[in-house]
Amino acid sequence: MHHPSVAPSFVQLHQTNHAAVRAELAAGLQAQPAHVAPKFFYDALGSRLFDAITELAEYYPTRTEAAIFETHGAAMAQQVPPGAVLMELGAGSCAKAVRLFPVLHPAVYVAVDISVGYLRGAMGPLQQRHTGLPMLGLGMDFSAELALPPAATDWLAAQGVTSAPRCVFYPGSSIGNFNRAEALALLRQAHAVCADGGPGGGLLIGVDRVKPKAILESAYDDPLGVTAAFNRNLLLHTNVLLGTDFAPARWRHVAFFNEAESRIEMHLQSDGAQIVRWPGGERTFADGERVHTENSYKWQPEDFDALLGEAGFGASSHWTDEKGWFSVFWAPV
């Protein structure tokens, strides 16, 4: 049977303000200690390297979460109303949402990602495979603000789903990139997005849990060095965005579990003293000095449940794997 060619709709908000990006990067590099936000990992190569990380034996979150969806998908479908607006944050390759289409039966799919080119590339073929499911790509930085832009609201109205329940889907434990205050702010915004739809909406979110240090650390510092390449690629992306002259070979990947803060930290450590320059600025790094590139907070289920309640959600339920390494929460509006 021949399907007519169908293209997903696309609203691009991101990458309009290059000056703000440069200012953010320069401020981070001049701070004490220096830092670069993890959203800058995801240029086209960074997105592909992350996909490679998810295939590593040591990197348990992706496959553990996938197994939870496989095992408990039917139970989740009892909570998530069919015919919902399924809005995925940090969609990337969209692979996680695609696996849920047959279980959750959404009316429309909205994919949100900061990596605009990568998202466009993923959504074209996806729309061809699911011609009956209207799709919208939103190229935007939801870490700055999570809200549906007017163009997306208009698109939902054109699909006839203005009053449909909204399910915000945030898999992959990416909520771990935010500290508690930042996570609370984002979850409150997610609650507002869900509450703007019809009754029955809510948040379906993957959360990585506290576990033995050795398991955590090997997941973020694999022997093949894929995570190290992912981390160092941030320097190449910064070179493009800010005009810095980082030489990735002169930086070492460092990852460890900070038990007091309950988080994995990733850093890039200067191999020898060096000066990094960019138009209008420079920073001298001492031998062994670090640039902090990511935090990944690990949660106890009862603490995350309390955070969801603080964000305005109703009583949550969650599903886990047999080892209790990871949880998927459903939090209704």
Q: What is the pLDDT of residue 97?
A: 95
Burial of 37 (0-12, 13-18, 19+ CB in 10 A): middle
Q: Which residues contact 229 (CB under 8 A, 6 or more apart)?
A: 49
Q: What is the pLDDT of residue 270?
A: 98
Q: What is the pLDDT of residue 112?
A: 96
**Measuring CA to CA, how many Å separate 273 from each of 38, 71, 288, 289, 293?**
24, 51, 8, 8, 19
Which CATH superfamily does the domain covering 59-211+299-332 fall into? Answer: Vaccinia Virus protein VP39 (3.40.50.150)
Residues 190 and 167: their CA atoms lie apart, in Å, by 9
Residue 68: closest CA among 218, 225, 208, 164: 208
Per domain, the residue ranges of the chain are 16-53+213-297, 59-211+299-332
Residues of the chain with pLDDT under 50: 1-4
Q: What is the pLDDT of residue 244?
A: 98
> Is the Cα torsion angle 141, 147, 148, 150 positive or negative in sign?
negative
Q: What is the pLDDT of residue 3?
A: 44
Question: How does pLDDT run across 199-223, given as a tens digit for each residue?
Answer: 999 999 999 999 999 999 999 999 9
Residues 276 and 35: their CA atoms lie apart, in Å, by 14
Question: How does pLDDT run across 241-266, given as a tens digit for each residue?
Answer: 999 999 999 999 999 999 999 999 99
Q: What is the pLDDT of residue 15?
A: 53
CA torsion, ordered 55, 59, 60, 65, to nearest 10 deg: -60
Residue with tokens 């290059």: 18
Kind plus residue range of the DSSP H or E element containing 268: strand 263-270
> Is the Cα torsion angle 163, 164, 165, 167 positive or negative in sign?
negative
Q: Which residues contact 17 (CB under 8 A, 6 or more apart)?
A: none
CB neighbour burial string for 238-275, b if at least 16 within 10 angstroms, e if fewer: bbebbebebebebbebbbebeeeebbbbbbbebeeebe
Assigned token pair, 187: 């979850």
Residue 238: closest CA among 33, 41, 14: 41
